Structure 1
Amino acid sequence: MPAPLWSSGQFDTFDSPPSVWPAFLTGQKASPVRVLLVDDDPHIRLVIAQELMADPRTLLVAQAGSVREGRRAIKQHDFDVLLVDLNLGDGDAFDLLGLLKSARPSAQAVVISVMENDEQVMRAFELGAAGYVAKNSWFRNYSMAVLQVANGGASITPNLARRLLQRFDRIHGAETKRRQPDEAERLSEREKEILRMVASGYTSAEVGSRLLISGMTVNTHLRNIYRKLQVRTRAQAVRFASLRGLF
């Protein structure tokens, strides 16, 4: 790693990107990742352009300052990654993501924005973006975001990733709660009886002996219970039944 030029005890700065870049990764000096930059702020465009040009692994092939210019640039230039500002003077990044799919299906897109709005992030991903970078984030690194998506990854700040995971957990939890009562009510009385006996520690053979049915029949009932409760093991089925008050 290059030696730090300056250190205050809190931050270190370096005069170049990491010198070690595996040869199997996309983005080599002889074949850098080609980038199309679209942003309506000339100052921000200059900052990003300088960072991209300072990294030998990325090559800025064209710039645009609006949706109209971006559409023309997408059609005219060959590039690997579209780096596009969310809010443009005559529209937004979503207008260009749709065109990207049809005009440059092999290209990747990274949306940049001053805000990390969850709804906008989700929409960007739904439209095919592979990254979302906040302009005001300490974690922003435009060339690295480009390299990540060019190599099949996704670029997203840690804070936003955590929020999206929490959002997913909330949605998944709500869906689980909505479906559990209906699925629990679908258990037959015989299935509930078998589940209670399994919870008491009886094996399939012992359950069958007590209910005067074969162990194979017991296992068939258990498979139906698993399917209805959307679980995979006896322990999960017992825990679900306990939480639902089935015994």
Structure 2
Amino acid sequence: MAGALSREPDLSASGLSREWTVRVSRGFRLKKDGRSHRQWDPALLAEFEAAGQVYEFVPSPDNLAVHPGPLAARAAALGIRGLASRPAQQEGEGPVRVVSWGGRWSRVDDWDGFHTWVDTEVNTDARRMRGNREKLRKAVGDESHAVIGVTMNAPWPAHRAPASDSRLPSMAPLLPQEFTHIWLIGDRISDRCLAWYPDLGWFDPTRITCQYDGHRASMVCLLVLLSVSAEPRFTIQ
């Protein structure tokens, strides 16, 4: 089954107003009543849109239970495990991408793809990242923290590995000289926040408590503290 699925959009449906990612299990029905999933996928997703069940800010990959009811039950019966969507870039035409939950792409391969994406993203010559590097190059201080959102435009391995595997990445990122630390914040498919520090390696800031001026707080608060305090004083617990 997995061999018939693609990481790229499988189809573009004129009846959809959103871009959809459909995560499926091994039991996904490529055909139903003699019809290909390319025919019935858009019809089912259109019903989700009409019901207002768009799964736009639902972090868990296995998320049909967020909107319990007949539509979720039908999707589950067809082998669908989770959904995610955002407004379509082209009005009146929504692409649909079907991705395998646990097919031929192993977790090892997913983490390899994750590392490749991280190294490519932070070193890309695209204007958005080039501008960030220029800003940090002019910054004063010993540390330069790059905060990167893992959006729906990122390739599937950037989402799948953090979402489906609770372990941490195993390889240090290849950072440009302008970056000393990076933060990766998941979007929609994965709600994980991952950070890499030279002295700590990879870690999940949401699971670490910090001591800041006598107060205990999640390390995610440092994103705010670093922006409002010239010399934030904190220790990691």
Q: Which has the larger share of strand?
A: 2
- The alignment's TM-score, normalised by the length of structure 2, stands at 0.26
Identify the structure with bigger relative contact order (alpha carbons < 8 Å, sequence gap 6+): 2
Q: Which has the larger share of helix?
A: 1
- The alignment's TM-score, normalised by the length of structure 1, stands at 0.25
Who wins on radius of gyration, i.e. which is larger? 1
